[in-house]
């Protein structure tokens, strides 16, 4: 699954590649040359919880 995200009004763009990991949807992309994983948790027919992390150069958030 491929996904693109752009921040309106700013020159910010992130292209992500996603996959299912257990009961989560995990997408990984790069923003300013740093990994940015997104996670969709607790997915139901009506809702989900979303987390985004921008990792430091050492790979830690």
Return phi, psi of residue 53, to 5°: -130, 135
**What is residue 54's predicted lDDT score, i.e. its pLDDT?**
75
pLDDT tens, residue by residue, 4-59: 766 677 766 777 888 999 989 998 888 777 788 889 999 899 999 999 887 766 65
Q: What is the DSSP letter of 23?
A: T
Please give the pLDDT value at position 47: 94
**SS3 (DSSP) at 47:** coil
> What pLDDT score does 60 carry?
58
Could you tell me which residue, 61 or 55, shows the higher pLDDT? 55
Partners of 60 in the beta sheet?
none
User: What's the first-to-final CA gap in the chain, in angstroms?
Assistant: 24
Predicted confidence at residue 16, as pLDDT, reads 83
Q: What is the pTM of this model?
A: 0.63
Residue appearing with tokens 């763009």: 13
- For the record, the structure tokens of 57 come out as 């150069």
């Amino acid at each position: 699954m491929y996904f693109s995200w752009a921040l309106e009004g700013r020159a910010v763009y992130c292209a992500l590649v996603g996959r299912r990991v257990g009961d989560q949807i995990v997408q990984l992309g790069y923003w300013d040359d740093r990994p940015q994983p997104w996670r969709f948790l607790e997915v139901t027919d009506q809702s989900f919880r979303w987390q985004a992390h921008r990792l430091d150069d050492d790979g830690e958030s």
